[in-house]
Structure 1
Amino acid sequence: MGIAEDYDLSVGLFQPPILVPPIRYGRRQVSPKPAAISFLIHRFAWNTPHPLASSHPWPMFTQPELLPIARLLAEAGVTDLVFNGYSHAAVLRHNRWSAVESGFESEEQLAKAAKFLVSMGGKQIDLAHPFASANLDKLRVHAMLASAVNRQTHLSIRVHASRDLALSQWLGVNQISQAQTQQLRHVLDSRESFLISGSAGAGKTTLLRALLSEKSSERVITIEDTAELQLLSRDSVSLVAREPNVEGRGEITLNQLLIESLRMRPDRIVIGEVRSAELITLLQASSSGHSAAATIHATSIEQVSARIESIATASLFEPQQITRLAKSTIAWLIHVSSQASRRCLEIRRNV
């Protein structure tokens, strides 16, 4: 079968809006997929690197539509970039927001850039489905087009850390103390289940990745909405949920992947973030002897129980019963908060 028929969109190549006439392949007439044409162009016609690609940290953003975004992402220390309409942009540096020039001249330009980014991640966005999330290399993108839901196009881009700190390096840069480092290693060695809580952007995923990297010999199965953990161990397995297509079919949920992971002989099961029924399944898996870990949104370590009750209620489970289950299966609670450039940790037995 020719590449025009079996090339996989999951590699994240941008699908250009072009019409390709049918061609003959042997005795058959086939219609090449646009992604296959894009692949061939990049592979053979564009062997010479783009003039910006060698120096720019985001070479996939050298398309004219994306240059305003590329310029802002190239600035030192930027971890988040948001657009509220074409005329307002802001960047997050060292946990502080500051307004910047957007670089876009119209709502149409911003919408075109948003569609471009989403399509690079293998997703589709239009007025019928005006919002989508996509994962691009070390970027997480969320786009919402101007529609009946909102008057402006909104684009949010999260930059994942380009160089993650190992646990020992966190100590070296005064992110955590020696005593906390030893306590975290004890949590890992115990093989007991733990939750990492914190607010958005506090560093929950970064800490979780650092912890899991300490146990590179374990068979760790990670389950996420978007692949952020990306462990380097050859024994680790990354499972990513899938949204339904435009017809409402093909959805694969975190909970489904969690159930499948139980049959994959894991040493440790990890959910990138628990928000709904997958928490209940994770607790049940932990109660049957599986070592589990996850992150959860909470503003303090005291709020974790309330958050678990809220998820249980939304998932139509009895809250007190799930809270009791969590206390009997989750041995450790780790809360991470961020103040300027420092991380503040609280590690507590879940009793």
Structure 2
Amino acid sequence: MSGPDNAAVTHDSVCPLRWDGQMLELLDQRLLPHEVRWLACRDSAAVADAIRALVVRGAPAIGIAAAYGAVLAQREGRFETGVAQLRAARPTAVNLVWALDRMHALAADGADAQRLLAEARAIEAEDLAANHAMAAAGAQLIEPGAGVLTHCNTGALATAGLGTALGVVRVGVASGRIARVFAGETRPWLQGARLTMWELQQDGIAATLIIDSAAAALMRSGAVQWVIVGADRIAANGDVANKIGTYALALMARHHGVRMMVVAPSSTVDLATASGDFIEIESRDPAEVLGCGGRRHAPEGVTAWNPVFDITPASLVDVLVTERGVLRRPDAAIMRARFGKRDA
């Protein structure tokens, strides 16, 4: 093998979901890294519950799972109801709505369950191809010997395979461009500690875990030259909704002269949303912050604020990488020029 894209194939051994012909099976990401268990979803309601409960997470993977959920809904004879439940499962990641809109358009045109299944498989295949294209393009921007910091989990577990931001990391390591990989723990669900580190370990990629609040000190040390993250929704002006803590990383990066790279497929771009001010930010149960691993560590009577995402202004993004190319310092005009004509 040769070239950064081919090299990455040897660093992608994780699969987050699989269709067995009758049902959708999801790798239960709540249990990783201690247990590898597959959850069988035999109906659309089970898929919606799994998305809501974070059995499957990551914007692209949520969209793919929802597409297969729509197939199950059609088979059940409750397509409209099933799709409505899937659509309401999580509000921030636009890939969920994007995938369901594709499935709904086909169903409205008379497509049967078999045709819908072909579309779900196409959505999955398109995402994998996009990940490989983005990984190659993003890695080419990184100077050899660089250190990178990533946040949350944006790898194969969050996509159809390889990953978005973590795909760039995989290709960068395989091609010799990235010399040091750091991952933030990503409170409160610890996706960085549990999932990103597990994925990298599966592929034999050495990485160092840091607590979220150590990011500024790490940047000041000079150990990293890039922060590389994914996105759950990108507004028409380039504002980025991503895992809580991304905004803080972008501010730190700008102060320390570290560059900020956002990696996401074009399905994450939402031109109907003018700016990040109009993106609905999901909030989850405060109990997720008040304790860990099922054990409460805050005093009784204490309350908590638990937003899942935050908004990083486009002005703090140095590079946006999609399968449609690299956008430097994205703004409304650049976004409109690149994404103004969306494919079906």
Range of TM-score over shorter length: 0.3 to 0.5
Q: Which of the two has higher C-alpha Rg?
A: 1
TM-score by length of 2: 0.36
TM-score (norm 1): 0.36
Whose relative contact order is higher, 1 or 2, with alpha carbons under 8 Å and at least 6 apart?
Answer: 2
Bigger fraction of residues in helix: 2
More strand by share: 1
